[in-house]
Amino acid sequence: MKVLLWNIRGIGEAHKQKHVHYLCQKHKPSALVIIEPKVELDSRYFCRRLGFNSVVNSNSKIWCFIKDSLHCDILNSQEQFLHLRFTSDLMPQSFLCTWVYAKHTRAERRELWDALRNIDQGVEPWLLGGDFNTVLYTSERKGGASPKIRTMEDFGDMMLDCGLQDAGFEGTQFTWSRNRLWQRLDRFIYSHIWNQEFPFTRIQHLTRNVSDHCPFSSQCIKMAEQALLRFAFRICGLNITPLRIVSALLGSNLLMAGECSSCSKSFTDLSSSKNGILKFLGTFSKTSLKLNRTSKLQSKRTMPPLKRTSSL
């Protein structure tokens, strides 16, 4: 499953709609989350314009467009978040997603943190994403005054209480910028159960354009798909350098900035479809056979000649 999320700060203008449509065509998400649209939702128009089948709305602050491959139930809709349950024939079980648009003041954000603490996770995987309007660490802010310790502690305490962890990212470190101030205000976080069910969740910070927030791409891979990938890597000959890189990448549960930029294209090619995996599998299997044949030929050439014994 792929999710595209963006605090676009107004989607009424034609050039912003065009750019969102371009991103959807490029990344092909199953769900699109638009934060701070700043216009009234015309469901039929925007679904047709952006290429989705349906949309759910939270007080005109958060829109979530979905494809037919997903079924969505609204569990809780408040001013600062939209809490949904998704089911799909492509997924082994239902899962929870909470899209967040946090307020600017500490007092209002604390109301959000308390509301998230009250969400009943049960045994379902839980993914949260959006604009949290605060950083978690001092390193996530550059320029301006230092971030307030208490606001960071509030955010961190909520994550600890809910058993949540940061999903990491690829790309630029900061997700928001204005007047020589850069901050990581937007992020994805998830529960331990999500991490077990989707051990490889890939988050990309895309190029910032037409908004002071950058868009996000989130790709989630099921446990079974990861097992298939690992199986393919093990039997294809790990002496091949690209396989060593991607195999090491898949063994990690957390992607931090820039850790896999050199092999992101290889992984995308591998994970795009099962046919792609099988194609790579066949290619490297043939390579392994060629290497084995070459090795046998070389060993024959290096064998000492047989000595003839004279007959009596």
- CATH homologous superfamily of 2-221 equals Endonuclease/exonuclease/phosphatase (3.60.10.10)
pLDDT of residue 16: 97
What distance in Å separates the CA atoms of residue 255 and residue 217, rounded to the nearest whole number? 14
For residue 289, the model assigns a pLDDT of 52
At residue 291, the pLDDT reads 52
The domains of the chain are located at 2-221, 227-300
The pLDDT of residue 221: 79
- Mark out the alpha helices in the chain (DSSP H runs): 14-27, 43-50, 106-117, 149-162, 192-197, 223-235, 241-250, 264-271, 274-302
The pLDDT value given to residue 73: 97
Stated pTM of the model: 0.73
Instruction: Report how far apart, in Å, the C-alpha atoms of 234 and of each of 186, 210, 237, 243, 264 are.
Output: 37, 44, 6, 9, 20
Phi then psi dihedrals of residue 23, to 5 deg: -65, -40
| Average confidence (pLDDT) per 10 residues, the chain, 312 residues | 96 97 97 97 97 95 97 96 94 93 98 97 95 98 96 98 97 96 98 94 96 96 53 45 48 42 44 49 50 55 50 42
